[in-house]
A and B are shown apart, each in its own frame.
Chain A
């Protein structure tokens, strides 16, 4: 009997997550759960000031506290050439400040002690004398000629500009604007927010004083890339560095960079010959590690009177903090922001960007986002709604009129992306039907007559995920391919090793399902391994929704290679020609004689016991997959809100989300990803903000000030799918982990703006607090 599709639960099946058993029983192992014999504890002293010269650091009192083993300063690190490190954007960042501090919370020194309490007590005994300097907190002011220079450590830096970048055709865009009937513009700020994974960052660094082997248990979304960075930064031989990621409690981009704490703990372990643990607390995570967004954007859309879009012009100013540490491919300076033309067939576009150093934490990470596509999607989707108001058109109909038509794919955009596939109108129509769009517009009209405020907002986003291809995308020179190694054991059970790194995405389940579909081995018979650089093949890690498009493809490809080999073995054991064999999931059978068959388990056994003499034994191999293109998931989200005019509060009545991520490996896990992203998008739109006062003090340094919504605030989500397979991915899948974070903020904000649009309101800045809504209402009412 053949194994049926259903029994093997491959791609398309909502099987339960294999990893959940240990998580729901509290049996996961996170970095802070690791305890090694003789382990010491490190705590970091951080700057209370945003900008100040360091006059002196006196650690004598700290050193004298019983239980303190060592105090690590930038000076000490400098003696080992470790005071500075490279960032993900090719800039430099102080590990510990030596000359001056450049943001509040910057690492200044560390205490290594026998226990964590003593280490923290000793921090208070380090005397640092600061000479305060004026703090630069506004990126616009940072670029003014008389602004204090933040990066005076760099010889070639005479101002606070950290990059300038542009793309698109400026003259074609200018010409189109001259011919336009209508131009709509929007100035908006995508505020600084933070990925805030529940597990903060940390490391247990264990450098063996005899062998020199450095075993680094750390919170990393990209263990291999981090190993290479460590080899380059510390000069350690790469074969002697082993990065091991245990369970990772969320990443969302926050665990892509290399942080000073990792470097300092490793240096301390190297110098002291003992394991050193460093785990940051919540405030340290919020004030010093990779933030997200912080983009000041200006967009203009040129159109004909009938709504036909002619050109898009966008300028952005990014606030990069004290070090240009954005995690992004080398060839771009504002990530993939130039996907800002979105889902629309725009004949011309020009995008210009510049970045400013400020006295704020560095590290613009793509928080659940493929390299700045979130900011781009927000810009265009907000602009399109305002364009519809200006034209007197329905926002959905303006979108429909300008969508890239299904027959135009693959579609080359004017900013240089080749969209692999799409059917935007189908996704939007499904969303409009599910939400009851026409009825809602009628209800909105009736309620307005009674003075009540109902808003309907939407976003028809296009994502771009799955970097490589390697020729276009690298990080610090490391090409963005990914890998899989598959070993099928004699009994037909398998181990799959992948170069990507789960932080909650469910890889142990979904990657097993890919093998299951390709080879017919049930998912429960496949152990998925990752996150140990001594054990798994090289890969660039998990972020930017790249795991399924890259390592997922690699997994399919190596499975197919092994299936080809398996066919030869099956032909041998069945004593037929390969050409006489046919494959159905889980077995080869002889054409015309379906009972004469070898299951994949039979073949696996034969691979070690009865393989053809001209064939290597075993059934294993690896594949490095270089994606020919990125994948372009898309969808339409519709949000309906009601507003309490007395308080400005807005309540979400409906969220209808239609996502098209091509073929879904595990629809239940996809749903979970979408729910998470829709919740995070809501949080960003409604309540999250890392802000700074004029002295550069960070406001938002704990969960009292930086808000994570609970189940009480989070709206109910209604999710639906259309399926447009990726034409170049081995089984038609696209990345999806970030679609909802990317697409939803504009839909929420558009809904609130829409509720007030008849009063002339065109913009509300995130977070859209009740106070901001109330103020917009006061202004609109007093103006009318």
Chain B
């Protein structure tokens, strides 16, 4: 690979990284897993003057449950999420999505936080975190702030992260009561970005649907939260009819483009299929939990 020239620093602490970014954030790119940034450098689509490599910063690789949240540290790798035993029961949507993120080589290095920061509308984690109602904690030299994922993802490759900030943690609220969820992805091959993918999260409250989360991958300028579909389910009976209606509303929320992967109509149809199948599966898990 022959990227443009860049300066490289590898700070040993978060403070050091943040003070570097405080001075030169505008010309810098932060490197975590590098699975999006390095291809951009290779193709010279990105030519930052400075790379700030976080990989030597200690204490950011955690994946743990505390104070009612799953906390995913900035350097937790996709591989760590795949390997985690604790997710299957409490966070089935995350457990379903993790092995579908790209391929094993990418998962060995790529991070959940890096995927969110890259804000690719075809990224998987954006939809999963939207469906789960997660938050992103970011830090700069002047302090922390916590941003709901829905506000964090602004547009294609654009987040509300300032150039002086880094993500330190993703906080996923533990789904309450009887709940279930899943992630369904159509890809042309392993390692490909999604043609269409759908994250579904469903909680049951006394037989009726409590909170529902539905988010869509690769069918718009960013990961799309299917708000109307979610609302149609809240308080409804979990019936084939209510699921069909939610699937229809989710397909309406999608705004895909026609490309080599398929027409816009096709992608909407797959959203519909996946939301319906996803809700069926989520309900099955919720009832079993």
- A residues near B (Cβ < 8 Å) are 43, 116-117, 119-121, 124, 281, 283, 646-649, 687, 689, 691, 699, 702, 704-705, 707-710, 712-713, 769-771, 774-775
Contact = CB atoms under 8 A, between A and B. Distances in A.
B258 to A, nearest CB: 9
> Which of A121, A647, A705, A708 has the most chain B CB within a 10 Å cutoff?
A647
A280 B145 CA distance: 46
Contacts of A699: 260
Contact of A649 (B39, B186, B260, B263): B186
15 contacts: A43-B2, A117-B2, A120-B2, A281-B2, A283-B43, A647-B186, A687-B189, A707-B192, A713-B190, A769-B261, A770-B262, A771-B261, A771-B263, A771-B266, A774-B266
A712 B190 contact: yes
B223 to A, nearest CB: 19
B146 interface: no
B4 interface: yes
Given A691-B260, A774-B266, A775-B263, A121 B189 contact: no
B237 to A, nearest CB: 23
Contacts of A705: 260
Given A116-B2, A710-B103, A769 B192 contact: no
> Which of A691, A704, A774 has the most chain B CB within a 10 Å cutoff?
A774
A460 to B, nearest CB: 29
Contacts of B266: 648, 771, 774-775
> Which of B193, B195, B260 has the most chain A CB within a 10 Å cutoff?
B260
B186 A689 contact: no
A687 B266 CA distance: 17
A707 B189 contact: yes
B188 A769 contact: yes
B189 A647 contact: no
Nearest to A771: B262
Contacts of B274: 647
> Which of A119, A649, A689 has the most chain B CB within a 10 Å cutoff?
A649
B250 to A, nearest CB: 14
A23 to B, nearest CB: 20
A121 B186 contact: no
Interface in B5-58: 5, 39, 43-44
A649 B44 CA distance: 35
A649 B192 CA distance: 15
B269 A774 contact: yes
Given A687-B189, A707-B189, A713-B189, 12 more contacts: A116-B2, A117-B5, A121-B5, A283-B43, A647-B270, A647-B273, A699-B260, A702-B43, A704-B192, A713-B190, A774-B262, A774-B269
Contact of B190 (A43, A281, A710, A770): A710
Interface in B48-98: none
Instruction: Specify the main secondary structure of chain A where it touches its partner.
Output: loop
A646 B192 contact: no
Contacts of B277: 646
B207 interface: no
Contacts of A43: 2
Contacts of B190: 710, 712-713
Instruction: Specify the main secondary structure of chain B where it touches its partner.
Output: loop
Contacts of A121: 4-5
A709 B103 CA distance: 12
B45 to A, nearest CB: 11
A290 B109 CA distance: 34
Contact of A770 (B5, B39, B186, B260): B186
Nearest to B39: A704
Nearest to A772: B262
B70 to A, nearest CB: 28
Interface string B263-281: 1001001100110010000
A771 B4 CA distance: 38
A691 B193 CA distance: 19
Interface of B: 2, 4-5, 39, 43-44, 103, 186, 188-193, 195, 260-263, 266, 269-270, 273-274, 277
Nearest to A115: B2
A710 B189 contact: yes
Nearest to B267: A771
B180 to A, nearest CB: 20
A295 B43 CA distance: 31
Contacts of A709: 189
Contacts of B260: 689, 691, 699, 705, 769
Nearest to A713: B189
Nearest to B269: A774
Contacts of B192: 704, 707
Nearest to B2: A120
Q: Which 4 A-B pairs have the closest CB atoms?
A: A771-B262, A646-B273, A120-B2, A712-B190
A78 B17 CA distance: 53
Contacts of A648: 266
A441 B188 CA distance: 29
Contacts of A646: 269-270, 273, 277
Nearest to B276: A646
Contacts of A713: 189-190
A301 to B, nearest CB: 32
Contact of B189 (A283, A712, A774): A712
Contacts of A124: 44
Contacts of B189: 687, 707-710, 712-713
B106 to A, nearest CB: 12
A710 B188 CA distance: 11
Nearest to A644: B273
A705 B273 CA distance: 25
Contacts of A710: 103, 189-191
A124 B191 CA distance: 31
Contacts of A707: 188-189, 192
B273 A770 contact: no
Contacts of B5: 117, 121
A775 B273 CA distance: 15
Nearest to A701: B43
A705 B192 CA distance: 9
B145 to A, nearest CB: 34
Nearest to A691: B260
A281 B44 CA distance: 13
Contacts of A281: 2
A280 to B, nearest CB: 12
Contacts of A708: 189
B269 to A, nearest CB: 7
Contacts of B262: 769-771, 774
A677 B2 CA distance: 33
A704 to B, nearest CB: 8
A702 B263 CA distance: 22
A116 B3 CA distance: 11
B270 A687 contact: no
Contacts of A283: 43
Contacts of A770: 186, 195, 262
A712 B188 CA distance: 11
A648 B196 CA distance: 13
Nearest to B186: A647
A618 to B, nearest CB: 52
Nearest to B47: A124
A689 B262 CA distance: 13
Nearest to B192: A707
Contacts of A120: 2
A151 B269 CA distance: 45
B103 to A, nearest CB: 7
Contacts of B270: 646-647, 774
A119 B4 CA distance: 11
